Every structure is written in C-alpha cells, then in structure tokens.
Structure 1
Amino acid sequence: MRPKNLARATAVVLTGALVLTACGSGGTEHPNAVVYWDTSGPAENPVFTELARDCARRGGYRVAVENVAYDQALNNFKTAAQGGNGPDVLRADVGWVAQLAQGGLIKDLSGTRLSRSTADFLDVPLRSTRHQGKSYGVPQVTDTLALFYNERELAEAGVDPPETWKELKSIAPKLGGDSALFINNDEYYALPFLYSTGGSLVDVESKTITVDSGAGVRGLGIAKRLLEAEAARTALDQPNSYTNMKAAFTSGEVTMMIDGPWVTPTLFESELFSGGENLGVAPIPGPPGVANSPVGGHDYVIRQGSDSGEDSVEFVECMSSPRAQAEIAAELGLLPTRESVYDDPSVSSNPVVSEFAPLLDDAHERAWIPQGNELLKPLQTAYADILAGKRSPREAADSLATRYEEVVVPEYSRN
C-alpha cells in the first residue's frame, strides 16, 4: 500500500520577539534570567521562543533566548563553558551529550526531578541522555530519515516508491535516470547506506571498529553504485549539497530525496508541495527487516556552573512537558519523545508525525559514546571521496578505520 500524502499538513510559524534581547555569550548579559541557546532553524525558532516565553510566564522567572547556528553551537558552547560562561540551557544534538558530560561541561541531573519522572519518554531518546549510568539531559524531539517523493511524478511513471536499492535502479529509467534520486553528500546521510548492509561504524559492546568490515564496505559503496547506474545524482560541492538537494526536489528536477521531518516546513512553502500537496513519505529503501535509518534528535542540557538554580530545572521541565511537546509536534511536525503525546488528537492528526512515527520502530540506534559526534567528522571526508571516485569504498573504509584507531577511539580494536 502506498504511503498517504501530506496534503493536510501545515507548518504554523508563530511570530514574536525574543523574550529578552540576546547578544551572544549568555549569562552576564542577562542577570537573573535563564539563558537558553536554541539551535533550531528559522522555521522552528519562533515556535520554541514562544514556548520559552510561555514557560517563563507560567513559572514566574525570566528567560533570554539566543538563536545559535546549529553547525557552530557545539564548539561555541564548549569554548564558553570551559571559561565559565555560556547559556544555562542548551538544545543539544543527541550526539553531543555524552561528549559534554565526559568533559564536565553539563550538569549531572541524576537525583533531580528531571531524572525521576522519565517513564513517559521513549527508550532510545532517553538513552541518548545517559553517560556512565548517570542522567545528563532531557529528550526534546526525536527523528529519523525517510524517503520523500513527488507523488505526481511516480504516478505518471506508473511506479511506487522503491522498497529496495535494486528496485530503485529498475524504476530510475522511467523517472529520467539520474533524476530519480538526489543523494546528499553528507556524512549523516551516508548512514542509511551503511546500515542497510548490516554495517556500522563501531561496536560499543565489544569495543571494535567495524566500518571496514565487509558489510561496512558494501554499504558505503551503495550510493556510488547508484550514481554509476545513473539512478541517482549528487553534488560534489559538499558544503552546498543539502541546499542543492532541496532546491532540486522542490523545483521538480529530481523525484526523490532522503531527509527528516524538520525539512517539511520548507517543502510546504514551495509551489510544488504547497501545504503538503503532492508530497509523499516512505521508508528508505533497503532489505526487509533491516533498520537502516539513523536515530537523531535533540536533548535539553544544563551547563555545569550555571547559577540559575531551580529556574533552569523548571524551564527544562516545562519545555519538555507533554503540553510543550504536543505544541511542537502539532505545529512543526517534529516527533515527540514522550509516548503519551502521540495520543494527543492535535499530534496524531498531523500527517508528518503520522508518517514518521512508525519509522521510529525500525530506526537504527547510534552509539551514545563521547566520541559519537567525532566518528561522523572523518566519515564526511571518506564518503565524499567515494562519491567523487577519488577512493574505492574499500580504500575509504580502511582509511576511516585507521583514523578511528589512531585518533577517535584508540581504545577500540580493529576488526
């Protein structure tokens, strides 16, 4: 059965100024206020800002919201926190938490009310907040990747969304060859290919580097083989690859792309997918029963050394509450981390949530280790080299494994 389209979806963006004028490093600029670094995009930030304002009003404290670019937030936070500055609360990528905890830059929340009331949270997002048996964060949103497709293009070609990479190759000629799929030249988007063959970057339990295994090499080579078969295209200009992918998809230049729920507000603004019309969502192609889409998302963490006291705790509690998560899901289509929120009518009726929520059951959990984020950085180079034909999948995987062994996880052994 073909997945339904997103015709009823809307992305409501609230308008409103910041709670307090924000100016960079946090803390001293806003005395007696909870300084919150929000790392969301322009379509999401107004919603989170309005939520922050509402939480402050309800709690009787002050909040200063500073919007920090996602790709700069981790380094900026580490630099500020190491100097005793920075925000009180950070919206952290799930891959950052263990690293920040190991570095002593965020508070251990074990024993606080934030760690005692966790039964409603989904297991995988909750595990992203843990390090060495302690709690360092509260899940905000979770996500995974999916296959977005142009419904009219597939219907006119007389094909359904491909369920395997082999099937994608077979239908590509009907979709204009390499116009069938745009492959984002980015390390995170390499993971579905790697996972689809049973590959992985490392095995945490055995402390083994696995990216250069046979399965890993085969997985890293899938995207290149799709390019060679003229069943897909990419942008070798890696920094602009994501922008080029969205532009190609929203213009109708390509029929399919792989992305997460966060992109839907942008898609809904385009003429081709206005309001969700003509936009379909399906699982990423791959072998049946194999979890090949990575788990992503964000957590709230509190900076070590923050003197905001209970206000930060109350702020995080409010921002992660069922009420707040329901509003975020209903308005932005982002996936809640609380199980109960999926029963809220305003959430369950959101087509983005209803399409993506079942995909979480088959998503691939990442390694929640301090080096988790560092594993991805060298993968970016290796993946780009494979797509550009500079290295074979075997050469790139071997080089990547060596980098892991020598720099990233020297305590792990090679396969």
Structure 2
Amino acid sequence: MRPTVTAALGLVAALLAGCGPGPADPNEVVYWDTSGPAESAAFRDIAQECGRTGGYRVRVEAVAFDQALNDFKTAAQGGQGADVLRADVGWVAQLARAGVIRDLSGTPAADTSDFLPAALESTRYAGRTYAVPQVIDTLALFYDRRWLAAAGVRPPGTWDELEAVAPRLGGDRALFLNNDAYYALPFLYTDGGDLVDTRTRTITVNSPRSVRGVRKARELLDARAARTALDQPNSYATMKAAFTSGEVAMVVDGPWAVPEFGRSRRFADPANLGVAPVPGPAPVGGHDYVIRQGSRATAAATKFVECMSGTRNQARIAARIGLLPTRDSAYDAPEVARQPVVAAFRPLVVRAHDRPWIPESEELLDPLRTTYADILAGHQDTRAALDALAETYQEQVLPNYARR
C-alpha cells in the first residue's frame, strides 16, 4: 500500500527530530519507489531479486510521487531517508545543486555507452553525472482504431487536421485534452515555442511562437473539436475514463497508461488501441535512479542501481508493464520486440523535444499547470495569461533570466 501524505510527512518529522531509524546498515539498500500501482509490483520484484543475487538486502518503500521530492530532500539533509530514489527526470539537477545526491561521474554506474542520448540529458548537472536512466517516456496520440476506421479517418498529423476531421468523429468527442502542465507542452512547442531558452537565459513562455501554440488548444475547444475537464485535479482521471468508456475517440497520454487502458472492455483486444505521434512535438519524460550523498550503503546502492538499470532487467520491465527502456540494447530483446506499444513509442522517444534540464525545471511546471487550466477553461486570454506566467517565472523562479 502506498503511504498517505500524513504518514510520509510524519516519517520526515521523525527523522528531523532524531527519532528515526537507527544507524544505517551498509548492506541494506532502502529504495524509495515512486511508481504507480500498475508498475510498483514489477519494480519491487526485480529490486528484491537484485538484492538476493547481489549479496545485499533491499527494502522497497512505496512513496507518494507528489511528496517524494520534498521528503527526500528534507530527509537527506538530515542524513536520513532513502539510499536510492526513483526520481523524475526534472528533479535531478535540483537535487544535484542541493548536494544531496552522489556524483556518479567516473563510476561504472555512469557508463553511458548503451543509453539512448535523450535519456542521458536529464542525468547531468554542471558537466557531471548524477543519475542513471531508469525509464524514458514521451506523449503519444492514443486512438480507438475501430472508431477511426468506421469514420474513414486516419490519425491526424497536425492540430489543424484534427480540427478538420473532428465532425466525422462526433465533434468534441474527437479528443480529450488533459489540462495539466506536461500535456500543455506539445501545444507550446507546436510553432517553435518553449518555456525558457537556457542558452540566452531568457524566459520564452510568452513569446509569439509560444502564444500561437497554446492558443491552438483553446481554439480546438472553441471549434468543438475537443473537450476538457474544468475540475483540474481530476482532469487526468476524467480523461482516462472518457477514453476507456468510449466517450472520446482519442487522448494524448504516455506509455504508463497502457495497462489501465488494457483493463477496459473497449481495449481488452490490444489491437484496438492505436498509437500515433502527437500532432505537436512531444516532451521527453521519464525517471532516473539517484543515490543519496552520504549513504552508508553507497557500495550496495551502486550495485543495486547497476542491476536495476541493466539490459536484462530493463527488458523484463518493458515486457511486463510496457515501459520504455533507456538502454538501446534492451529493445533488441525478443520479449521487448513483441511489445507493440514499446515498438510504437521507440521512434517517438528518439525525436521527442528536449526540456530545460535546470534545477528550476520542476518549479516551471506548477504555475504552468494553473495557467493552462485557466486558458482551457476560458478564464483568461492566452496572451495575457502567458505574459502573467512569464512575470511569475522571473519574480519567483528565475530572477536571473530576462523576459521577452
């Protein structure tokens, strides 16, 4: 069972008060797993096997994803907490700057020869390597094959094409837009926009290109070519329910959603679930393994990360739950080659849009989430909303960046 927020905060409070566990065992790796219910059993099983075969013990602790970053930083600053964390790719630079994760440069764990280039970018900070890629992901356009075939429609390649074919798919039943920050990025990138330009240290979220891209999402709603949920916290769950129940023909989502789609009657036949590129450029996502700085179990933790991220175990994860390997060699494994969703996502990952791998990366998403939801709900004009967001970025997140 995943711990509640109260339990997680209670753990951190106990650690800070000096009431936490006793001295760490150098032969036991405490692994904080932030994966969801559809994934955690697979990671737990392989983690325990790594410990048995590697001569060390592994204690897997499921932690709430939305609490893990702050809990890990707080505990690590007190010399406590996990030895290994499954970190979102957007957290690594922040944790490295804070000095709470180990520099892996020059160690066997940081051997980059077999990893996909897109998966490696998030592991680096200030020219050093601080993480090992676990899984990589991006967004795709999932569609109901039977529905599109009956309408004589192919998966649209652009947002304009989607708007044009929507009447044949039932108008706003064509697509459900999740009003969350990560799902705003394909629109932001559509006309060459972005959140920031790290090379020139400029905030670009309100550039003309960014505004045109995000405005397209609102235009799809106005044209009744898509629908969304006004209740932002429940938007993702509402989107999945609409797709699996047959209310909408298409959604934009990631490979992590496939197991849940497959449990529905509509996609019990995997052949009915189509996967195509998102009409706009999709962002790179995924997770990395990081090792806590000062962990007494550093040697065992390093062996653990090497085991979990090895080709064989990445292939097993891909075959069992459909997540995308970060090692190129894992895609050649027979059990992976038989996974149609993994095969469909592989070219999408290769051309996925890079993100700003800066310590403030995660802090850019929270205000974008609110802004994007307001735009889709029609509460704010796109230009005014993104201008205000750029001001928030400069005042609260990136004071050393210029605004356009």
| Consecutive unaligned residues in structure 1, runs of 5 or more | 1-21, 287-291
The separation in 2 between residues aligned to 1:174 and 1:24, in whole angstroms, is 54
- 2:294 equivalent to 1:305: yes
CA deviation vs aligned residue, 1:363-400 (integer Å, no higher than 9, x gap): 10101100011111110111011111111110011001
TM-score for the superposition, normalised by structure 1:
0.91
- Structure 1 residue 369 corresponds to structure 2 residue 358: yes
Aligned to 2:239: 245
Q: CA deviation at 1:306?
A: 1.1
Q: Distance in 2 between matches of 1:363 and 1:135?
A: 21
- Residue 160 of structure 1: SS of its match in structure 2? coil
Q: Which residue of 1 aligns with 2:108?
A: 113
1:181 is aligned, of 175, 180, 184, to 175
Partner in structure 2 of residue 28 of structure 1: 21
Q: Deviations over 1:260-289 (max 9, x none)?
A: 000000000000001413110111114xxx
Cα shift at 1:405 = 1.1
* AA in 1 matched with 2:60: V
Per-residue deviation, 1:111: 2.5
User: Offset at 1:24?
Assistant: 5.3
**Residue of structure 2 equivalent to 1:315:** 304
In the TM superposition, what are the counterparts of 1:4-153 in structure 2 within 5 Å?
A: 28=21, 31=25, 32-115=27-110, 117-153=111-147
Q: Is the 8 A contact 1:162 1:168 kept in 2?
A: yes
Measured against aligned partners, the alpha-carbon deviations of 1:57-109 in whole angstroms (never above 9, x if no partner) come to 11110000001121121122122112221100000000000000001111111
Identity %: 62
**Counterpart AA for 1:28:** P
Which deviations, in whole Å up to 9, do the C-alpha atoms of 1:179-228 show, x marking residues without a partner?
A: 10000010110000010111000001111111111001111111111000
Counterpart code for 1:101: A
d(CA) in 2 for partners of 1:309, 1:70: 23
Residue of 367, 374, 384 corresponding to 1:385: 374
CA deviation profile, 1:136-193 (whole Å, cap 9, x unmatched): 0100000100000011111111111111111111111111111100000101100000
Is residue 207 of structure 1 aligned with residue 196 of structure 2?
no
2:263 to 265, 269, 273: 269
CA distance in 2, matches of 1:275, 1:316: 35
Contact 1:157 1:174 in 2 (8 A): yes
Aligned match of 1:360: 349
What pairs with 1:272-291 in structure 2 (closer than 5 Å)?
Answer: 272-286=266-280
Which of 387, 394, 398 does residue 405 from structure 1 map onto?
A: 394
- Output the CA distance in 1 between the equivalents of 2:30 and 2:55: 15
The amino acid across from 2:330 in the alignment is: V
- After superposition, give the CA deviation of every residue in 1:278-331 in whole Å (9 maximum; x if it has no partner): 110111114xxxxx1000000000111211031000000100001111101111
* Structure 1 position 346 matched with structure 2 position 340: no
The equivalent residue for 2:5 is none
- Residue 410 of structure 1 aligns with an amino acid whose one-letter code is P
* Greater fraction of residues in helix: 2
Contact 1:24-1:66 within 8 A present in 2 as well = no
**1:299 and 1:251 mapped to 2: Cα distance?**
33
In structure 1, give the amino acid aligned to 2:239.
M
- 1:225 and 2:219 correspond: yes
Q: TM-score, normalised by structure 2?
A: 0.93
Q: Distance in 1 between matches of 2:107 and 2:21?
A: 26
**SS at structure 1 position matched to 2:376:** helix
RMSD of aligned Cα (Å): 1.5
CA distance in 1, matches of 2:255, 2:139: 8
Q: Is the 8 A contact 1:47 1:328 kept in 2?
A: yes
Whole-angstrom distance in 1 between the partners of 2:298 and 2:394: 41
- Shift, 1:118, TM fit: 1.5
Structure 2: runs of 5+ lacking an equivalent:
1-7
- Structure 2 counterpart of 1:342, one-letter code: Y
Matched residues in 2 for 1:243 and 1:376: separation? Answer: 19
Task: Report the equivalent of 2:153.
Answer: 159
Deviations 1:17-55 (CA, angstroms, capped at 9, x unpaired): xxxxx9956983774410000010111100000000110
CA distance in 2, matches of 1:337, 1:227: 36
CA shift for structure 1 position 361: 2.1
Q: Is the CA contact (8 Å cut-off) linking 1:269 and 1:275 kept in structure 2?
A: no
Q: Which residue of 2 aligns with 1:394?
A: 383
Asked if 1 retains the 8 angstrom alpha-carbon contact of 2:173 and 2:226, the reply is yes
Residue in structure 2 matched with residue 8 of structure 1 by the alignment = none
Q: Among residues 298, 301, 323, which one is paired with 1:334 in the alignment? A: 323
